[in-house]
Amino acid sequence: MTTTTARMGPTSSLVFEQSQSLTRHLQQCHAAQGRLFQAAAWAELAHRQVAPRFISLVSVAVVLLLACTW
C-alpha cells in the first residue's frame, strides 16, 4: 500500500505565504491600536479635510500673483 503525502506545489506555497503575510499584517494592525490610535485617526481626518483646501488656497494665491504681475 502506498502512502500519499501532500506536496506543496507553487499554488499551495503561494497561498501559505499570503496567509502568513496577512496574519503578520493583522497582528501589526492590532498592536497599532494602542493609546495613540485615536490621535492618529483624528490627525488623518483633519489632514483629509485641510489638505484639499490648502492646495486650492495656494493655487488661488499663485493665480492672483501671476495676474498682478501681468
Q: What tens-digit pLDDT sequence spans the chain (70 residues)?
A: 555 555 556 678 888 899 999 999 888 887 777 778 788 888 899 999 998 899 899 999 999 999 998 8
Angle 21-23-28 from CA coordinates, rounded to 5°: 95
Instruction: Parse the chain into domains and list their residue ranges.
Output: 10-69
Grid cell at residue 34: 494602542
C-alpha distances out from residue 12 to 3, 4, 22, 60, 70, Å: 20, 16, 15, 55, 66
Say what the pLDDT of residue 27 is.
Answer: 86
